[in-house]
Amino acid sequence: MATRTKNSVDATRTHRRSPVQTGALVVGAVFVLVGIMGFIPGITTNYDQLEWAGPDSEAMLLGIFMVSILHNLLHLGLGVVGLIAAKAAGAARSYLIVGGLVYAALWIYGLVVAEESQANFVPLNNADDWLHLVLAVGMILLGLVLPRRVELPASEH
């Protein structure tokens, strides 16, 4: 029967993600998926009206959320940052909290800016606004409550 040495426990420990790292990984992967979906006709309705940016883009992800090329690229970028941040617990925590704060600001921005305004450069609609609030609260909570350390079973101490 093989026994674990201290070095094998340390090696195993370095390959385990903490809960906050897993949270950042999942959030990042979802953003990458959403960014890709925004470029797929059928998943994005009115795809032929997808614009670079601004309120003139009539494309709708899942027929609900306004998207543009810029919007999709922002989702992809935020997702990649999340995947990279998931490599370290501190970075993962920061990604979730700062990303949540950015979404809180975007929620407020969407409430203030008229949908038809050229200031609506992302573009955003009412569904986007409320999704941004949910994302803000969810990401900030994940960043604050998920542990930064892996808890090892008593047999591995």
Cα–Cα dist 119/111, whole Å: 12
pTM here?
A: 0.84
89-94 average pLDDT score: 98
20-34 average pLDDT score: 98
Give me the pLDDT at residue 11, please: 43
pLDDT at 54 over 80: yes
Cα–Cα dist 14/21, whole Å: 12
- Could you tell me the residue ranges of all domains in the chain? 18-144
Give me the pLDDT at residue 16, please: 86
pLDDT at 131 over 50: yes
Helices 19-37 and 126-145 pack at an angle, to 10 degrees, of 160
pLDDT at 14 over 60: no
